[in-house]
Amino acid sequence: MSKNNAGNVFGLALLLGLFSTLGPFTIDMYLPAFPEIAHNFNTSASLVQFSLTACLLGLGIGQLVMGSLSDVYGRRNPLLISMAVYIISSLACAFAPNIGLLILFRFAQGFSASAGIVISRAIARDLYSGHELTKFFSLLLLVGNLGPLAAPIAGSGILSFTTWIGVFIALSLLGIYLWAMTKWRLKETLPTERREKPNFANQLRSYGMLLRDRQFVGYMLAQGIMIAGVFAYVSGTPFIYQNIYGVTPAVFALLFGSNGISLIIGSQLVGRMAHRISEQAFLLFGLWVALSASIVVLVVAVFHGPLFALVIPLFFFVCSIGITSTAAFPLAMERQANMAGSAAALLGVIPFLLGAVVAPMVGIAGENTAVPLGLIILATSTAAMLAYFGLVRKAPREASQQAQIRA
What are 61-105's pLDDT values in tens digits? 888 888 888 888 888 899 999 999 999 999 999 999 999 999 999
Q: How many CB atoms lie within 10 A of CB 117?
A: 29
Q: What is the mean pLDDT of the chain?
A: 82
Q: How far apart are CA 281 and CA 288, in angstroms?
A: 11
pLDDT tens digits, 273-302: 877 888 888 999 999 999 999 999 999 989
Least confident range from 136-145, 306-315, 327-336, 379-388: namely 136-145
The pLDDT score that the predictor gives to residue 338 is 63
Domain extent listing, the chain: 7-186+203-395
The pLDDT score that the predictor gives to residue 3 is 46
Q: Does the pLDDT of residue 39 top 60, yes or no? A: yes
Least confident range from 273-287, 316-330, 358-372: namely 358-372
Q: Does the pLDDT of residue 339 top 80, yes or no? A: no
The pLDDT score that the predictor gives to residue 406 is 32
The pLDDT score that the predictor gives to residue 94 is 93
Higher pLDDT, 332 or 103: 103
* 364 phi, psi to nearest 5 deg: -65, -25
Arithmetic mean of pLDDT, 143-170: 80
Residues contacting 268, CB < 8 A, separation 6+: 138, 141, 142, 322
Q: What is the 3-state secondary structure (H, E, C) of 38-83?
A: HHHCCCCHHHHHHHHHHHHHHHHHHHHHHHHHHHHHCCHHHHHHHH
- CB of 51 closer than 8 Å to CB of 106: yes
Q: Does the pLDDT of residue 218 top 80, yes or no? A: yes
The pLDDT score that the predictor gives to residue 73 is 86
What are the helix (H) ranges across 130-199? 130-144, 146-159, 164-184
The fold of 7-186+203-395 is Growth Hormone; Chain: A; (1.20.1250)
The pLDDT score that the predictor gives to residue 108 is 96
What are the helix (H) ranges across 74-129? 76-94, 99-127
The pLDDT score that the predictor gives to residue 363 is 66
Q: Does the pLDDT of residue 115 top 50, yes or no? A: yes
pTM confidence score? 0.69
Q: Of the candidates 179, 162, 161, 68, which has an alpha carbon nearest to the alpha carbon of residue 113? A: 179
Of 34-38, 157-161, 231-235, 299-303, where does the model show the most confidence?
299-303
Q: Does the pLDDT of residue 356 top 80, yes or no? A: no
What confidence category does residue 320 fall into, taking pLDDT thresholds of 50, 70 and 90?
A: very high
